[in-house]
């Protein structure tokens, strides 16, 4: 069965309850003449966790970075198609990428706190966005929401690089949510962490999703099955010039994808038979 | 929802299904005892709820396995719950069979002695099933063992029935009623086996070993 | 069948080659260190007496000379025992100040532009290529250029300002390269992390990247400075005066510097001048050592464990 399958048999909530937060229509991302990911169309829903899974090189990270215009930093990158964020085309001429990145936050694969104090890490985002009223309260709120407050409240001036890997990643989450985005993009946030730290981040995501919409790229299928509400499976297809382009194969609610996926390719990937 | 919550919900669903099944079984035996056809109808209709409960547990267990991949204690608990729900569903079907029998013998002459034996066996099965579920709920190994041993009483009753049959033979009018009651006894005996299986699940849950009682 | 002996066999085969190689290494380093030790010993033995002891001079009127303060504050003189390095010392300090205040902003600014803002086109590559070349140009050429541009064209004359600016040009390529390295050492994830929070490129660079790179930039500056104060040829070419008997009082006044003064003293025939020159060299060495130590301390204290 060729083509993309959009399988939205969500028995627990009707379509009316689901607000769309990202509406992706025929989006492709090119680096120069290399097509990294081709022709993706999907909807992502508010206050849900959506996971992108698939083998290496299938364009998941490239795609997620076009959702907050981080691809603008790569001169040869070009995004075609339409990415509507709550109805607004993110690549419209009038849209300011700096504002986009405040509304759509990002947490990276390797924890990257600034080499400053814990307090300063969070204060930086607040300052550049002119959110400096009640600075200390905002910092406390962000750290509490990120389940880090109790561990660091006694020592906010400690250098962030002295924290453990899991704590650093939670700090990165805290500084992202401090600037009050609506959506958080996570690019393999747990791949550099040990299992205990990973579980803490996964539990945190379940709490955060009540306030934010979360989009996560992950290599770990079990993580996707545990954590996400919706799952998008990408794979690479070889093109004429010998390179590989990423494509969306199947997008459905997680329960269906892991109990009865439609595409055989999806089934093979999640059961570990390839990739 | 966390893994713990999902398993907890699965447990709650199982035990409320258990209550439903035991209650229905009790009513079914009572209906058979008093030969109350209307009560039997009510009980038969209730079986729909039991089937619904079973399907929900089945679906939830399946999704739990696919998305959470539980291990160790969680895996034993989830699997035990699933298998117990199967046995409970069978006990539900047993109640339906009792009700059918009640209806069928409502206008038939039946040997009173056999009728008494059937009803007695019915109450034994209720007793065993209820204790088996209790042992699963409180993870009580001792209760599971004693309950499983009660299966011998059912076997004794079965043998008594065989003796009674030989006393009654000769009176052709009673044959249809007799036949119905004998099949009832066979079905009840299987009910006892299901209760024993639930006790084995308790043992598996507690000790981690698969065994037959 | 493998035996324990196989595990120990290979050691014995390689040993002689390794030993020879190690000997060659040790020899090379010994030559370098011993040469340096000899030079330092020579300087110290000839200069320390002149620099630290007190004595009397004069045939008729006796004059007490208390070193090192007199050496450091006296003007030049025809008497090697009286000649002091005062104006040259102050001249060198003036040069250092001018160099720091012009090189640091220019050098770090250029580095920040090239590393963070410049588009990756042919012009940028051309600039980068030439920077590396400029770092290797002989310092004499800079002297000639200083003469033409600062002394004559700009009209600053043979002043300490011209000297400072000439030295700036000399060490600018080195400072720019060092600052760029410091900026490159800041991981790109920091820039991305800042931008992902809704910072503009400007905010990300000036509030996160540059502060992290400052220790590296300062180290580069200090090392460039320590090269500058030892330079003699460019200053001579742009006309630093050799017999200066006054302290420079403004950026536009004439000046001399320690290396030039020493160069001048060495030229005199009397034997005692050797001691005076060595004393001057000791002073220069102490300044260089101090600056390099400061650079090292800065680097160690602020080095980030990315």
C186, pLDDT greater than 70: yes
Q: At C242, is the pLDDT very low, low, confident or very high (cuts 50, 70, 90)? A: low
Cβ-in-10-Å burial (0-12, 13-18, 19+) of A194 comes to exposed
C96 domain-assigned = yes
Q: Which residue of C lies nearest to A181 if distances are taken between CA atoms?
A: C197
Q: Give residue limits of the domains in chain A.
A: 5-113+180-270
H-assigned helices in C231-271: 233-237, 258-267
Which of A47, A51, A12, A43 has the alpha carbon at shortest distance from A206?
A47
Q: B9 to chain A, minimum CA–CA distance in Å?
A: 16
- β-pairing verdict for A34-45 and A49-53: unpaired
Query: Rounded to whole angstroms, how far apart are CA atoms A140 and A118?
Result: 11
Cβ-in-10-Å burial (0-12, 13-18, 19+) of C122 comes to exposed
Could you tell me if C87 and C76 are in contact, meaning their C-beta atoms sit under 8 angstroms apart? yes
Which of C157, C158, C179 has the alpha carbon at shortest distance from C103?
C179
- pLDDT > 70 in chain A, percent: 93
Which residues, at least 6 apart from C252, have a Cβ–Cβ distance to it below 8 Å?
C156, C157, C159, C160, C161
Q: Is B68 on the interface with A (CB under 8 A)?
A: yes
Q: Give the CA angle between residues B79, B84, B86 to the nearest 5°.
A: 105
Rounded mean pLDDT, A102-119: 94
Q: At C241, is the pLDDT very low, low, confident or very high (cuts 50, 70, 90)? A: low
Q: Do C195 and A70 touch (CB under 8 A)?
A: yes
Q: Among B8-17, B169-178, C40-49, C278-287, where is mean pLDDT lowest?
A: B169-178
Residue A101 has its nearest CB partner, among C189, C196, C305, at: C196
Query: Rounded to whole angstroms, how far apart are CA atoms C104 and A275?
Result: 52
Instruction: Collect all residues of chain C within an 8 Å Cβ-Cβ radius of residue A113.
Output: 193
Q: Is A255 on the interface with B (CB under 8 A)?
A: yes
Look at chain C and report how many structural domains it folds into: 2
In the block, which residue shows the tokens 């539980």? Answer: B70
Q: For position A17, what pLDDT does the model report?
A: 59
C81 domain-assigned = no
Q: Do A258 and B69 touch (CB under 8 A)?
A: no
Q: For position B154, what pLDDT does the model report?
A: 92
pLDDT in tens, A208-247: 999 999 999 998 989 999 999 999 999 998 888 788 899 9
- β-pairing verdict for A213-217 and A34-45: unpaired
Residue A124 has its nearest CB partner, among C197, C212, C304, at: C197
- Residue by residue, pLDDT tens for chain B (213 residues) are 788 899 999 999 999 999 999 999 999 999 999 999 999 999 999 999 999 999 999 999 999 999 998 988 899 999 999 999 999 999 999 999 999 999 988 888 888 888 889 999 999 999 999 999 999 999 999 999 999 999 999 989 988 888 888 777 677 777 888 888 889 999 999 999 999 999 999 999 988 888 787
What are the E-state strand segments in chain C? 55-57, 63-65
Query: Rounded to whole angstroms, how far apart are CA atoms B37 and B99?
Result: 8
Task: Retrieve residue A197's tokens.
Answer: 């730290």
C101 in the same domain as C25: no
Query: Rounded to whole angstroms, how far apart are CA atoms B196 and B207?
Result: 16
Q: Is B58 on the interface with A (CB under 8 A)?
A: no
- pLDDT > 70 in chain C, percent: 93
Rounded mean pLDDT, C227-244: 81
Residue A101 has its nearest CB partner, among C120, C197, C306, at: C197
Query: Rounded to whole angstroms, how far apart are CA atoms A42 and A259?
Result: 21
In the block, which residue shows the tokens 């720091």? Answer: C100
Neighbours of chain A (3+ CB pairs under 8 A): B, C
C48 domain-assigned = yes
pLDDT in tens, C84-113: 888 888 889 999 999 999 999 999 999 999
Which residues, at least 6 apart from B203, have a Cβ–Cβ distance to it below 8 Å?
B141, B144, B145, B209, B211, B213
Instruction: Collect all residues of chain B within an 8 Å Cβ-Cβ radius of residue A258.
Output: 66-67
Q: What are phi and psi of A258, to 5 degrees?
A: -95, -10
Query: Rounded to whole angstroms, how far apart are CA atoms B186 and B122?
Result: 11
How many Cβ atoms are within 10 Å of A116's Cβ, its own excluded? 19
Q: Do A101 and C195 touch (CB under 8 A)?
A: yes
C270 in the same domain as C218: yes
Positive or negative, the CA dihedral C116, C118, C121, C122 is: negative
C98 in the same domain as C212: yes
C59, pLDDT greater than 80: no
DSSP class of residue A179 equals T
C140 in the same domain as C28: no
Query: Rounded to whole angstroms, how far apart are CA atoms C136 and C236?
Result: 19
B81-96 residues labelled b (16+ CB within 10 A) or e (exposed): bbbbbebbbbbbbbbb
Instruction: Collect all residues of chain A within an 8 Å Cβ-Cβ radius of residue B3.
Output: 226
A11, pLDDT greater than 60: no
Q: Chains A/B: 3 or more C-beta pairs closer than 8 A? A: yes
H-assigned helices in chain A: 60-66, 97-103, 118-128, 135-145, 149-152, 165-178, 195-208, 221-227, 254-259, 264-270
Q: Is A178 left (phi over 0), alpha (psi -120 to 50) or beta?
A: alpha
Q: Do C197 and A176 touch (CB under 8 A)?
A: yes
C205 in the same domain as C139: yes
C71, pLDDT greater than 90: no
C297 in the same domain as C224: yes
pLDDT in tens, B34-59: 999 999 999 999 999 999 999 999 99
Q: Do B66 and A226 touch (CB under 8 A)?
A: no
C271 domain-assigned = yes
Could you tell me if B52 and B180 are in contact, meaning their C-beta atoms sit under 8 angstroms apart? no
Domains in chain B with CATH codes: 3-207 (1.20.58.220)
C239, pLDDT greater than 80: no
Query: Rounded to whole angstroms, how far apart are CA atoms A216 and A160?
Result: 24
C192 in the same domain as C104: yes
Q: Do C305 and A161 touch (CB under 8 A)?
A: yes
Query: Rounded to whole angstroms, how far apart are CA atoms C205 and C211?
Result: 9
C92 domain-assigned = yes
Task: Retrieve residue B193's tokens.
Answer: 């086996």
Just give the CATH number of A5-113+180-270.
Answer: 3.40.50.300
pLDDT in tens, C155-182: 888 888 999 999 999 999 999 999 999 9
Instruction: Collect all residues of chain B within an 8 Å Cβ-Cβ radius of residue A225.
Output: 66-69
C48 in the same domain as C90: no
**CATH code for the domain of C104:** 1.10.3720.10
Q: A147 to chain C, minimum CA–CA distance in Å?
A: 20
Q: Among A111-120, B119-128, B154-163, C233-242, where is mean pLDDT lowest?
A: C233-242
Q: A49 to chain B, minimum CA–CA distance in Å?
A: 12
Q: A46 to chain B, minimum CA–CA distance in Å?
A: 17
Instruction: Collect all residues of chain C within an 8 Å Cβ-Cβ radius of residue A68.
Output: 196
Q: At A14, is the pLDDT very low, low, confident or very high (cuts 50, 70, 90)? A: very low
**Which residue would you say has higher pLDDT here, C126 or C7?**
C126
Cβ-in-10-Å burial (0-12, 13-18, 19+) of C84 comes to buried
Q: For position C85, what pLDDT does the model report?
A: 86
Q: Among A178-192, C5-19, C24-38, C211-225, where is mean pLDDT lowest?
A: C5-19
Mean pLDDT of chain C: 87
Q: Do A129 and C196 touch (CB under 8 A)?
A: no
Task: Retrieve residue A212's tokens.
Answer: 């934010």
Q: At A159, is the pLDDT very low, low, confident or very high (cuts 50, 70, 90)? A: very high
C92 in the same domain as C41: no
A66, pLDDT greater than 90: yes
C138 in the same domain as C40: no
C294 in the same domain as C155: yes
Rounded mean pLDDT, C264-281: 88
Q: A223 to chain B, minimum CA–CA distance in Å?
A: 9
Determine the structural domain holding residue C42 and report its residue range.
1-52
Distance of CA B99 to the CA centre of its chain: 14
pLDDT in tens, B19-33: 999 999 999 999 999
Query: Rounded to whole angstroms, how far apart are CA atoms C106 and B95?
Result: 93
Q: For position A30, what pLDDT does the model report?
A: 92
B34-58 residues labelled b (16+ CB within 10 A) or e (exposed): eebeebbeebbebbeebeebbeebe
Query: Rounded to whole angstroms, how far apart are CA atoms A79 and A170?
Result: 31
Q: For position C106, what pLDDT does the model report?
A: 95
Q: Chains C/B: 3 or more C-beta pairs closer than 8 A? A: no
Tell me the CA distances in angstroms from A186 to A216, B100, C109, C197, C198, one per residue in order. 5, 60, 35, 13, 16
Q: For position C263, what pLDDT does the model report?
A: 87
* ipTM of the complex in this document: 0.89
C152 in the same domain as C8: no
C-alpha atoms less than 13 angstroms from C-alpha of B158 in its C-beta half-sphere:
15
């Amino acid at each position: 069965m060729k083509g993309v399958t959009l399988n939205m048999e969500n028995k627990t909530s009707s379509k009316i309850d689901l607000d769309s937060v990202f509406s992706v229509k025929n989006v492709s991302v090119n680096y120069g003449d290399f097509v990294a990911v081709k022709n993706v169309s999907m909807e992502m829903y508010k206050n849900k966790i959506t996971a992108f899974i698939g083998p290496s090189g299938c364009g998941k990270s490239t795609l997620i970075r076009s959702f907050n215009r981080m691809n603008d930093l790569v001169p040869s990158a070009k995004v075609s198609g339409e990415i509507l964020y709550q109805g607004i085309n993110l690549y419209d001429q009038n849209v300011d990428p700096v504002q986009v990145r405040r509304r759509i936050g990002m947490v990276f694969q390797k924890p990257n706190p600034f080499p400053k104090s814990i307090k300063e890490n969070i204060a930086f985002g607040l300052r550049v966005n002119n959110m400096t009223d009640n600075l200390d309260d905002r910092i406390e709120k962000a750290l509490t929401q990120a389940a880090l407050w109790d561990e660091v409240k006694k020592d906010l001036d400690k250098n962030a690089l002295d924290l453990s890997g899991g704590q650093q990643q939670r700090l990165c989450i805290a500084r992202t949510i401090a600037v009050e985005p609506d959506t958080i993009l996570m690019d393999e946030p747990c791949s550099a962490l040990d299992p205990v730290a990973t579980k803490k981040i996964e539990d945190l995501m379940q709490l955060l999703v009540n306030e934010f919409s979360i989009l996560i790229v992950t290599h770990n299928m079990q993580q996707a099955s545990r954590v996400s509400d919706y799952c998008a499976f990408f794979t690479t297809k070889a093109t004429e010039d010998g390179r590989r382009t990423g494509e969306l194969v199947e997008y459905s609610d997680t329960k269906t994808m892991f109990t009865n996926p439609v595409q055989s390719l999806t089934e093979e990937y999640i059961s570990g038979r390839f990739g | 929802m966390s893994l713990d919550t999902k398993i907890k919900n699965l447990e709650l669903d199982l035990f409320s299904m258990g209550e439903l099944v035991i209650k229905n079984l009790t009513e079914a035996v009572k209906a058979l005892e008093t030969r109350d056809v209307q009560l039997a109808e009510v009980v038969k209709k209730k079986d729909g709820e039991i089937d619904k409960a079973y399907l929900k547990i089945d679906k939830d267990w399946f999704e739990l396995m696919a998305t959470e991949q539980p291990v160790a204690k969680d895996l034993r608990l989830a699997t035990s719950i699933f298998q117990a729900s199967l046995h409970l569903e069978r006990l539900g079907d047993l109640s339906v069979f009792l009700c059918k029998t009640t209806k069928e013998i409502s206008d038939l002459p039946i040997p009173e002695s056999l009728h008494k034996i059937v009803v007695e066996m019915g109450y034994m099965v209720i007793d065993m099933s209820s204790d088996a579920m209790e042992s699963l709920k409180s993870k009580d190994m001792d209760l599971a063992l004693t309950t499983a041993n009660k299966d011998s009483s059912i076997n004794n009753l079965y043998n008594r029935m065989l003796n009674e049959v030989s006393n009654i033979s000769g009176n052709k009018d009673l044959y249809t009623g007799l036949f119905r009651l004998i099949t009832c006894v066979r079905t009840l005996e299987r009910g006892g086996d299901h209760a024993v299986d639930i006790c084995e699940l308790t043992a598996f849950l507690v000790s981690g070993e698969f065994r037959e009682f | 069948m493998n035996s324990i002996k196989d595990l120990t066999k290979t050691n014995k085969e390689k040993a002689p080659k390794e030993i020879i190689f190690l000997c060659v290494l040790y020899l090379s380093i010994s030559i370098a260190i011993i040469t340096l030790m000899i030079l330092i010993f020579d300087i110290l033995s000839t200069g320390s007496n002149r620099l630290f002891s007190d004595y009397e001079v004069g045939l008729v009127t006796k004059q007490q000379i208390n070193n090192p303060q007199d050496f450091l504050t006296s003007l030049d003189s025809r008497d090697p025992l009286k000649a002091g390095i005062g104006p040259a010392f102050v001249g060198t300090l003036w040069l250092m100040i001018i160099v720091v205040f012009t090189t640091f902003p220019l050098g770090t600014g250029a580095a920040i532009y090239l590393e963070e803002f410049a588009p990756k086109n042919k012009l940028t590559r051309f600039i980068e290529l030439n920077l590396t070349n400029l770092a290797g140009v002989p310092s004499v050429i800079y002297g000639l250029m200083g003469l033409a541009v600062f002394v004559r064209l700009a009209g600053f004359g043979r002043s300490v300002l011209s000297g400072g600016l000439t030295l700036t040009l000399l060490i600018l390529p080195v400072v720019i390269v060092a600052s760029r390295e410091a900026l490159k050492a800041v991981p790109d994830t920091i820039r991305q992390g800042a931008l992902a929070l809704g910072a503009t490129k400007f905010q990300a660079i000036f509030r996160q990247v540059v502060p992290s790179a400052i220790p590296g930039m300062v180290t580069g500056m200090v090392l460039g400075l320590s090269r500058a104060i030892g330079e003699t040829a460019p200053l001579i070419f742009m006309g630093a005066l050799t017999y200066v008997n006054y302290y420079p009082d403004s950026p536009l006044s004439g000046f001399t510097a320690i290396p030039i003064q020493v160069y001048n003293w060495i030229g005199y025939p009397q034997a005692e001048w050797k001691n005076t020159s060595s004393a001057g060299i000791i002073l220069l060495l102490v300044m260089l050592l101090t600056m390099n130590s400061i650079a090292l301390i800065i680097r160690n204290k602020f080095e980030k464990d990315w």
